Amino acid sequence: MHNDSPSPSAQPPPVITLESIYHLLVNLQSRFDSHLVSQSVLSNKVECIQNDLSAVRETLLHTHNSVVKLCNPATKYYTRITDLPLELLTLVLSWLDPDVVFKYRRVCKAFDATLMTNQFSVLAVRRYVASDEDHAEVRRECEEDKTLELFGWGTHNIGKLFIGFPKQFQEAAVDYLFPDLESLEIRFTSHNFCKNNSIPTAFGRLHQLKALIIESSGFVGPFPKELCNSTQLEILNLSDVPLNQQLPVAITRIKVLESLTLLNCGLHGSIPAAIGCLINLRHLSLARNNLMGNIPTELGNLQNLLYLALESNKLSGRIPQALCKLEKLERLCLEHNHLTGVIPKEFGNCRKLEYLKMKNNELDGPIPIELGSLPLLRICDLSENHGLTCDFAMHSLKL
């Protein structure tokens, strides 16, 4: 028997409706639109690639032409960094280590002119100091204490800023490192680094400086007149610095000076009368030089003077009575000169005198009895003056 009933696994054909036809058409439209967009993007990429290829061809052609020109032995080409604008060249060079860059000063005039500008120095110093911890530490200390002591000028990093660098660089270093410095002391110099170097003129930019002490034979003269721009200077000590010149009159411009020590500085010539204008002086030492001529009477104007040392020179003539007007004087040292004549009896007015030294001169006549009445006199050395006589007892006298 045949069973004509449908099989259970047979699926009825899908029912086609208007809605299913609509969805089919929407799907086909979406795919078509997507294809159009992809084709547009691809066209743009192809166009970009074609443009890039065109640029490459132009670059290759330009390079080829340049190579052909460079291969011409009749033509010379140079690297012209000097063609840069001065401002840009200054910026470029300021990034280099000053120890290195200043070696190229003679490369060309443009380099030398750039390295000598204040703009270059200001930029180079700031970057150089910022990159060195020692320099930065000194700057911080100077800002706090306003005092700088250097024992080893030539070997200290600060000292090296003033050795071998031009004036503009040194001035920029002073302005940046210690603009408000009040005391600068250099006690020792390494001869390996600083022998026969001048005292930096840039120190004259230390307008707040009150004390400058340089005790070193590593420096040489002449005395930099720029130091006299430090009009607040109260103490100036250049002991053992071989200035080898006449006593600089420019020092008398520092009206507030209270202590002037130029001991063993190779000074020659006479003591200028203008020194009497420094009426605030309390300490004056010009000992162990080659000063000649008379002691100027203008020294009698230094009414605040406590200490006067002129020993070990070649001074001659009589002792001026004007020195006897120095009523505050405590120590007077005139030994080892060629002074002549009598000792003024007016020294009896110097009631605060404690030390009086006139050894090894050519003085003569009687020692004034007024010296015996000085209440504070402890040492009175008048020895090796073969023309002197004494008619009274004096316990402090050495004759």
- Taking alpha carbons only, the member of 312, 315, 316, 349 closest to residue 333 is 312
Alpha carbons 293 and 315: distance in angstroms, whole number: 5
Task: Locate 54 and state its tokens.
Answer: 């065109």
**Beta strands in 242-345, from DSSP E residues, in sequence order:** 259-261, 268-269, 283-285, 290-293, 307-309, 314-318, 331-333, 338-341
Mean pLDDT by runs of 10 across the 399 residues of the chain is: 51 70 74 70 76 78 71 57 74 82 77 84 83 77 82 69 83 87 79 68 92 86 90 94 93 95 96 95 97 96 96 96 94 97 94 96 94 92 92 80
What is the pLDDT at residue 74? 63
The domain ranges of the chain are 245-399
E strands along 95-224, which residues? Answer: 147-151, 183-188, 197-198, 211-214, 219-220
- Architecture of the domain delimited by 245-399: Alpha-Beta Horseshoe (3.80)
Kindly report the pTM of this predicted structure: 0.75
Q: Tokens for 169?
A: 């660089």
Q: Which of 238, 234, 232, 177 is nearest to 202 (CA)?
A: 177
Burial of 89 (C-beta count, 10 Å sphere; 0-12/13-18/19+): buried
Separation CA 124–CA 101 (nearest Å): 10
pLDDT number for residue 279: 95
DSSP type of residue 174: H
Which pLDDT belongs to residue 2?
47
